[in-house]
């Protein structure tokens, strides 16, 4: 069929009997000529000018609302924002609760609404100054913040949880310290009643044995070790009895320490040195039977110790 637009003008007018020219089906639309420029498709959200015009129209002259609308970078974003606002209003003004299926955008919006920082370490929670946080407490604070952030916990709720922990830890520490004092008092009373005048000697023998094998620092670390009930190892009745027996067996009789509070906890060498110094500082006391008897027993015990080393 001849294209009527391109046909020569004959001056004839179309008659009613002429059939209308049908447009070619879509599938037969000619392909664009190679090398010809085609106009780019308009963006789905319209031009920047159109988007700004839409923002101004929606704002209705409200500058603050217009500024808020400018956060949305497309018509789709504006539509989505209105849908989320509708959901929040429908929920009574409360942010939509997050679920396992919540999108990253919903999580971000929820965190912004609840004041949850993007960085977990920026959580506005910390220990109270009068709490006296230990190294352990300080070490777990960052882990606590990370856990709160992962669960999208609002800062006020996180602060309340941390406050509960501080109150709980304070009560626990008070109870453990009370248990320490109570156990120490009961152990001393029991041993004094059982050992009588040998109490100082037995304690001194136990201390001397541990210091010789552990050193002063090791001895102190062992003595300050806390048990599950809050008491110290040095106040554990079976432990003290065991070490006193071992010390007595190792060094021989503990009679040298009995009733001699000044000698308790001192090594045999230290006691020997102090007694020998009496030759110069107090010759008469040095010659006394008491001092000579102590020196004799110290030398005897040193021989046993040296024989074992």
pLDDT in tens, 221-240: 999 899 988 899 999 999 99
Domain end marker among 71, 95, 114:
114
Position 302 in a domain? yes
Average pLDDT in the 207-215 region? 90
Position 161 in a domain? no
Domain that holds residue 273: 197-308
Domain end marker among 95, 114, 133:
114
The residue behind tokens 């552990």 is 214
Position 15 in a domain? no
pLDDT band for position 187 (50/70/90)?
Answer: very high
Position 28 in a domain? no
Torsion angle (degrees, nearest 10) of CA 284, 288, 291, 295: 100
Which pTM value belongs to this model? 0.45
Q: Are 140 and 165 in contact (CB under 8 A)?
A: no
Lowest pLDDT segment from 158-167, 202-211, 236-245 = 202-211
Same domain, 104 and 203: no
Domain count, the chain: 2
Average pLDDT in the 171-195 region? 91
Position 270 in a domain? yes
Position 33 in a domain? no
Average pLDDT in the 65-94 region? 76
Question: What is the spatial distance between Cα 297 and Cα 302, in angstroms, rounded to a whole number?
Answer: 9
Residue 43 has pLDDT above 70, yes or no: no
Q: Are 55 and 70 in contact (CB under 8 A)?
A: yes
Position 59 in a domain? yes
Same domain, 297 and 205: yes
pLDDT at 256: 41
Question: What is the spatial distance between Cα 222 and Cα 243, in angstroms, rounded to a whole number?
Answer: 12
Residue 162 has pLDDT above 80, yes or no: yes
Residue 139 has pLDDT above 90, yes or no: no
pLDDT at 270: 79
Position 121 in a domain? no
Domain end marker among 114, 145, 166:
114
Question: Which structure tokens are listed for 50?
Answer: 């159109």
Average pLDDT in the 120-144 region? 88
């Amino acid at each position: 069929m001849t294209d009527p637009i391109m046909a020569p003008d004959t001056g004839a007018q179309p008659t009613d009997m002429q059939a209308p020219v049908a447009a070619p089906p879509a599938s037969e639309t000619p392909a664009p000529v190679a090398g010809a420029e085609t106009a780019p498709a308009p963006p789905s959200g319209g031009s920047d000018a159109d988007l700004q015009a839409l923002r101004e129209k929606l704002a209705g002259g409200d500058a603050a609302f217009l500024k808020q609308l400018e956060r949305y970078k497309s018509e789709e974003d504006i539509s989505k924002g209105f849908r989320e606002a509708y959901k929040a209003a429908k929920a009574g003004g409360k942010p939509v609760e997050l679920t396992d299926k919540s999108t990253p955008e919903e999580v971000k919006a929820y965190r912004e609404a609840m004041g949850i920082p993007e960085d977990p370490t920026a959580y506005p929670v910390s220990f109270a100054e009068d709490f006296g946080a230990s190294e352990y407490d300080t070490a777990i604070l960052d882990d606590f913040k990370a856990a709160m952030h992962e669960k999208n916990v609002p800062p006020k709720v996180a602060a309340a949880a941390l406050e509960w922990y501080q109150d709980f830890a304070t009560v626990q520490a008070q109870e453990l310290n009370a248990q320490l004092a109570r156990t120490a008092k009961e152990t001393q009373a029991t041993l004094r009643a059982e050992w009588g005048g040998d109490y100082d000697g037995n304690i001194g023998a136990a201390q001397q044995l541990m210091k010789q094998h552990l050193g002063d620092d090791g001895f102190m670390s062992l003595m300050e070790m806390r048990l599950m009930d809050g008491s110290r190892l040095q106040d554990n009745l079976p432990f003290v009895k065991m070490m006193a027996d071992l010390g007595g067996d190792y060094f021989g009789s503990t009679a040298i320490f009995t009733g001699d509070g000044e000698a308790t906890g001192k090594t045999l060498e230290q006691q020997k040195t102090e007694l020998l110094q009496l030759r110069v500082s107090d010759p008469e006391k040095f010659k006394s039977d008491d001092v000579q008897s102590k020196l004799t027993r110290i030398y005897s015990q040193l021989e046993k110790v040296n024989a074992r080393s």
